[in-house]
Amino acid sequence: MTTDPADTGMLRQTNRSLPIALLRARETLMEPVRIMLSKSQISEQKWRVLRVVSESGPMEQTSIARTACLLLPSLTRIIHALERDGLLERNVASTDRRKSIVTVTEKGRALIREHSAQSNQIFDDLEAQFGAEKLNTLLDLLEELQQVKI
Amino acid sequence: MTTDPADTGMLRQTNRSLPIALLRARETLMEPVRIMLSKSQISEQKWRVLRVVSESGPMEQTSIARTACLLLPSLTRIIHALERDGLLERNVASTDRRKSIVTVTEKGRALIREHSAQSNQIFDDLEAQFGAEKLNTLLDLLEELQQVKI
DNA sequence: GCAATATTGTTGACAAGTTAATGATTATAG
DNA sequence: CTATAATCATTAACTTGTCAACAATATTGC
């Protein structure tokens, strides 16, 4: 009796499934971050948006969406919530009134500062335990995977 | 002027962020699968559940959740929808009446057969373009990452 | 200048993710 | 045996993901 998928017409087994492996890796990785952020009522997504805008400076929403890996409808809602909580500001772009330029407020920067040490600690621990070289290999492979045209 | 995070007190830059790299890789990978499944009104999550139960045989929901990387509340809704559409069946376990045992119906198996060739094709193409060896390295690294205790 | 087209962001509707709380049932401690 | 605790699945409430449709504004081609 064989279990070769080619013989049975079955699907590739899920035990070495790349999509699920990516999901699981994310769970492992983000769990401590989510626990940290839950103390400030900040979701993983809001944290991504705050960090991206903080690092790049004032940005339009399409750029934020691309960088933070969010779709525009989600981003719209997240930014409205962050604006409501006083962590971001939006201003209509002078050159193109369709665009709104998003900026981190001082309150937003304070929140980022408040968590940055612990956030860095988490990823430093990861790097220490997993190994800097393996981490780099993994990042390279993941970037290369994004280039594959399926 | 330096941009070294150690000097500025800023966060690790997002341009080499592992969490976002994992997200992007998943997007690349799942886009063609989602397009394929959309023709049958099947979400990526429903597809995962169908495949997992199909491969493992009758299962209780806690096991499905663990294997398919879903939380129980999401799984409950997904299974109810799949049951409504006649793709799965649920039966109370004889040994433990808290548990319900989930089975794929013939209609469910037909749907899986209908898409299995194309699904395999997608991942065969990926393997061909990305390289089997790199794919294995990537899977190994991702599995190892899940073992890291942060 | 003006109609057709594209871009930017928003909204609506619904599925799925997340946390907390809740029955129902089973296991365990005393 | 019984009270307590643990497990399985569901529900509730809210956020986010996803697709389609939509205004508002810019751009392009004529």
Residue in B30, B55, B137 nearest the CB of A19: B30
- Token readout for A27 is 């769970």
Choice among A5-19, A36-50, B61-75 with the minimum mean pLDDT: A5-19
Proximity of residue A67 CB to strand C below 7 A: no
CA distances from B45 to B49, B77, B89, B122, B128 (A): 6, 11, 17, 17, 26
Proximity of residue A62 CB to strand C below 7 A: yes
Domains and CATH numbers, chain A: 21-147 (1.10.10.10)
How close is the nearest chain A Cα to the Cα of B28, in Å?
6
CA distances from A17 to B17, B88, B93, B142, B143 (A): 22, 22, 29, 11, 11
Closest by CA position to B52, among listed B105, B110, B103, B1 = B103
Q: Give the distance, in angstroms, between residue B38 CA and nucleotide C21 C1'.
A: 35
The rounded distance, in Å, linking the Cα atoms of A73 and A67 is 15
Contact between chains at A69 and B144 (C-beta distance less than 8 A): no
Proximity of residue B78 CB to strand C below 7 A: yes
Buried b (16+ CB within 10 A) or exposed e, B64-88: bbebbbbeeeebeebbeebeeeebb
Closest by CA position to A15, among listed B3, B60, B135, B51 = B51
pLDDT one-digit tens code per residue, B78-113? 999 999 999 999 999 999 999 999 999 999 999 999
- Quote the pLDDT of residue A5: 46
pLDDT > 50? residue B39: yes
Contact between chains at B126 and A148 (C-beta distance less than 8 A): yes
pLDDT one-digit tens code per residue, A16-29? 899 999 999 999 99
